[in-house]
Structure 1
Amino acid sequence: MAMTNPADLIAPRGLNFGPLGANWVHLCIDMQRMFAEKTEWHAPWMEQVMPHVVRLVEMRPERTVFTRFIPPRSADEVGGTWHRYYQRWVSMTRERLDPGLLELVPALARHVPPARVLDKPIYSPWLGSRLHGELLAAGVDTVVISGAETEVCVMAAVIGAIDLGYRVIIATDAICSSADSTHDAMEHVYDSRFGMQVETAEVGEIVEAGRP
């Protein structure tokens, strides 16, 4: 029996399904001070990708939706495994955390408005929010995704968008993680397992494709 070569399953990077089109939004995930600064959730690579994220936002600020991950006040406010999670990360609950750290990093916050902010208590921006309904009402069919972290909240945004039928474009030089190995592994998964539903491209190509 012939075996499939795993290399044959990897989609080439780039905008493989044509021009960006007119009905897109940029979903920028959790680019907040609590990940950029020296907290227990610090993602050092955020500083490196920031110029690329800024360039993507500046392309059309009014088409950007920034998400913010908002922890509970204490572990006692949440149930299930979230309770255990925030018992572990008690320093990141709102009763311990400087509230200013929940804000977007200044380089991005200055674009609000016209960009807008969506707060979420979980990884996914889709569950329990009006995001999908609002995008449908606006005729959006394509989501360009940037932000942090590649294999956590970015992944949740990507999988949700796939399930909802959006064209998904991941800006590969505008996503980051606090763990290099799992960031790299997740990028490989996007390319090798979701090639018909996810495109991966650098910001320069996306910006060029979005020019009128």
Structure 2
Amino acid sequence: MRDNKLAVAEIRDAVHLCIDMQNIFAPGGLWATPWMERVLPTIVAIVARYQARTIFSRFITPHDPKDRPGQWQSYFRRWSQATRRHIAPSGLELVPALARFVPPAHVIDKPAYSAFSNASLASLLIEKRIGTVVVTGAETDVCVLSTVLSAVDLGFRVVIVQDALCSSSDVGHDALMTMYRTRFHGQVDLVTAEELAEFWRE
């Protein structure tokens, strides 16, 4: 891993964007992500430090597959148990360890993988003159990936806290870490939670 110290030393005008740490992805959930328990304490520590600067995203499934366009309909026909017609409302809530930080942390709901599929997120960040998004959450190779690429396209600097991500796939996670290091230098930085605490000071 390259030396990130010069990059992280300059973190300012940032928000912590925590992706989809919901009960549906927790142990026992329909889409359980095995790593979530392992990274949750790290994410809790980050949120506790930057409570007012944290935005949680929640992936909100449709009531019925036909409520979404195109290929999302076949996706949710396959995962009909995840639609709001079938899943308990609690399944889409934040895990309790993080929900307790709201407020002052904020929540935005999204219909697709990227947190920016809710257009109000970009508007909010631009209005607040945010230049950097610090990303944690689930899953590394799906919703986190989509959010990171959207943020890059919108011109935000992205700082990924690599020990605060979780995935169902070791192969997918490792491939994404390699891609960020080799293909997105200058737009995406990888840091540890310890480095983040040292170099992002409010």
**What residue number does 1:7 align with?**
none
Query: 1:126 is paired with a residue of what secondary structure?
Result: helix
The answer on whether the counterparts of 1:147 and 1:154 sit within 8 Å (CA) in structure 2 is yes
Map residues 152-191 of structure 1 onto 2, 5 A cutoff.
152-191=142-181
| Unpaired stretches in structure 1, ≥5 consecutive residues | 1-10
SS at match of 1:122: coil
Match of 2:110 among 101, 120, 124: 120
Q: Is the 8 A contact 2:29 2:91 kept in 1?
A: no
Question: How many angstroms does 1:37 deviate by?
Answer: 2.9
**Higher Rg of the two aligned structures:** 1
- Quote the Cα distance in structure 2 between the aligned partners of 1:18 and 1:183: 22
Q: Is the 8 A contact 2:39 2:166 kept in 1?
A: yes
Secondary structure at the residue paired with 2:116?
A: coil
* Residue correspondences, number: 202
The Cα shift of 1:128 comes to 4.0
The aligned residue for residue 48 of structure 1 is: 38
> In the alignment, which residue of structure 2 is the partner of 1:81?
71
TM-score (norm 1): 0.91
Cα deviation per residue 1:12-34 (whole Å; 9 max; x = unaligned)? 15344252443100000000000
- 5+ residue gaps, structure 2, are none
1:138-176 Cα distance to aligned partner (Å, 9 max, x none): 111011000000011000110011111111100000011
TM-score normalised to structure 2 length: 0.95
Change (3 A) 1:148 1:86: same
Q: Determine the structure 1 residue equivalent to 2:97.
A: 107
Find the partner of 1:31 among 6, 12, 21. 21
Specify whether residues 18 and 30 from structure 1 end up closer, same or farther in structure 2 by C-alpha distance, changes over 3 A only: closer
- Picking from 182, 188, 193, the partner of 1:198 is 188
